[in-house]
Chain A
Amino acid sequence: MNNQQDIILRTENLTKRYGGVHALEDANFTLKKGEHVAIVGDNGAGKSTFVRQITGVEQPTSGDIFFQGQRVEFNSPLEAREAGIESVFQDLALCNDLDVPSNLFLGREELLFKFGPFSILDEKKMMQKAKEVLERTAIKIPNLSNHVGDMSGGQRQCVAISRSASFASKLIIMDEPTAALGVQETTQVENIIRGLKEQGVPLILISHNLRQVFNLVDKIWVFRRGRIVGEVIASETDGNEIVSMITGMQGGVHEKASYI
């Protein structure tokens, strides 16, 4: 078995039912420090449901979540975030009318002078830090003082991911981070993810793009009909095996099938 100290996140028999619908059944999941894993599965397999339980968006029907060895119950996304679990949601939690530094530092602004709600913002420092963060991730945003709402989908996605990545978070979860992006933007996002690996920040990636999954992660967890049906080391498997696990059917997958 894994050494307990190496495990950052563990779920035990995590179950979520919506009325009679068993969206997630007895999920036993572990994530080690510094590990990048992918969660794959068909639509309705329970991937997003699983993520919603561990990020505090929903509360599980039964089962336990252990984060850094402690049993945790998150009643809101904020509580999960405060514990160090950052998530990049598909619907991007950005404020369109604010510029890049304001979005990056929202809720944890750098201050020049502390005076309760009327504390003075240190705009220079936030701009400087934002530049550093974005430089590290090689994202090209011409003018950081533009409103985020005026930027392209890719740039916005990069800002959202940088926000999660730029704070010393203990775990980052990304739900289809490149689904809506072009080729170049996808490459940028993938580079950010590789940067996180180098920094040793653990990651859970939900993706339909198996090629991306194989390129980026160490381990793949396969979900089918609300259950975890397998955990495989990415380097020891291939697309065919994963697709068989996702669909529950043996063979019949063409070598050049487009989803591999």
Chain B
Amino acid sequence: MFKRENLPAEASIFAVFIGIAVLFEVLGWVIVGKSFLGNMQRLEIIILQVSIFGIIAVGVTQVIITSGIDLSGGAVLALSAMVAASFAQSVDAFAPIFPQFLGLPIIIPVAVGLAVGAVCGLINGSITAYTGIPSFIATLGMLVTARAVAVLYTEGQPVYSLSDSFTAIGSGAWPVLVFFVVAVIFHLILKHTVYGKHTYAIGSNEKAARVAGINVRRHKIMVYTIAGSLSGLAGVVMCARATIGQSGMGTMYELDAISAVVIGGTSLFGGRGRISGTVIGVCILGVITSGFTFLRIDFYYQEIVKGMIIVGAVMLDQRRQAKQRSRA
């Protein structure tokens, strides 16, 4: 028989996504007399815009499944972008950051960007796992610190003249491809590996996980390090796309990433969630942003609606949790 429970968890989120897209299509015809979805260029812009914070959201999903939070995504993106850019300047760069490191092979700035992200994540994870300080505070500290370090790194100066081979990573559909590949890899890892199973177990019942022999501290550090590395990757892709490294990059991206994760059905209480849901959540946010712009509705109204959607998603999650608790 056809039952609601038999549908994959993403089905309802996907239905919401389709609903929102159709709503904008209808409103488009009514208000501005144009098709919203019928414009390929607009769809391309949507997907390109969401790809960067989507990469961060893949890491944030894993952190939230362990019932933690990572607020540092946007700031870690900026720091990684600055450092990666400083190693990606072309030989003819004017006033380069490191005159001795020009025209390096592309692998070096990419690796450096990822490493900076990984170190930030490692610090987040170690503080959370070893001091008992809530991840909310630990990563809030990183948000402020990483952004400040990003500014200090070049004393506020942007990093120009990135080599063509480096900026190629950000051109065309590359950011979308990176996001897609990262999402698929981590979707499979969460679903089919020991790492994934233990991530869910820790978020579901940390004490049970510990009693079962899982090294909870080490695992948490690994999760935060992966999240940091993905923010670093987002930074690399973003500065390659912008062909410049700026300390103000990715401001508020952490909130977009967290919103996408929550809208995508990952529980803030931990133990539940999937990358596939997050990908749909990312697309929903993209459509809303683009849709409002298309309807020429003021930016601040967009933010209000986004805020309401996030609170609504969390309320739904809370109701689901309460229902489960009453049954158990």
| Residues of chain A at the chain B interface (Cβ within 8 Å) | 77-78, 81-82, 93-98, 102, 106-109, 111, 117-121, 123, 149-151, 153, 156
Q: Give the residues in chain B near A117, CB-CB below 8 Å.
A: 193-195, 198, 219, 222
Top 8 closest pairs, chain A to chain B, by CB:
A97-B271, A107-B212, A107-B213, A95-B204, A93-B208, A97-B204, A106-B212, A117-B195
Is A121 a contact of B197 with CB atoms below 8 Å?
yes
Over the window 22-62 of chain B, the binary record of Cβ atoms lying under 8 Å from chain A Cβ atoms (1 yes, 0 no) is 00000000000000000000000000000000000000000
Alpha-carbon distance between A78 and B214 when the two chains are bound, in angstroms: 9
Q: Give the residues in chain B near A98, CB-CB below 8 Å.
A: 197, 200-201, 204, 271
Is B208 a contact of A106 with CB atoms below 8 Å?
yes
Alpha-carbon distance between A150 and B204 when the two chains are bound, in angstroms: 13
Alpha-carbon distance between A238 and B126 when the two chains are bound, in angstroms: 57
Q: Give the residues in chain A near B208, CB-CB below 8 Å.
A: 93-95, 106
Q: A78-B210, A95-B209 are in contact. List 9 more A-B contacts (CB 8 A).
A: A77-B211, A78-B211, A78-B213, A96-B324, A97-B200, A102-B200, A108-B212, A149-B327, A156-B328
What are 23 A-B residue pairs whose CB atoms fall within 8 Å in the complex?
A78-B210, A93-B205, A94-B205, A95-B205, A95-B209, A95-B271, A96-B328, A97-B272, A98-B200, A98-B201, A102-B197, A102-B200, A106-B209, A106-B212, A107-B209, A111-B194, A117-B193, A117-B219, A118-B193, A120-B192, A121-B192, A149-B324, A156-B328
Q: Give the residues in chain A near B184, CB-CB below 8 Å.
A: none
Closest to A126 in B: B197
Alpha-carbon distance between A188 and B219 when the two chains are bound, in angstroms: 36
Task: Knowing A109-B197, A117-B194, A121-B193, say if A93 contacts B211 (CB, 8 Å).
Answer: yes
Min CB–CB distance A41 → chain B (angstroms) = 25
Min CB–CB distance A42 → chain B (angstroms) = 28
Min CB–CB distance B125 → chain A (angstroms) = 14
Is A95 a contact of B201 with CB atoms below 8 Å?
yes
Q: Give the residues in chain B near A107, CB-CB below 8 Å.
A: 209, 212-214
Q: Give the residues in chain B near A97, CB-CB below 8 Å.
A: 200, 203-204, 270-272
Which of the residues A78, A106, A119, A123 comes within 8 Å of B201, measured between beta carbons?
Answer: A106
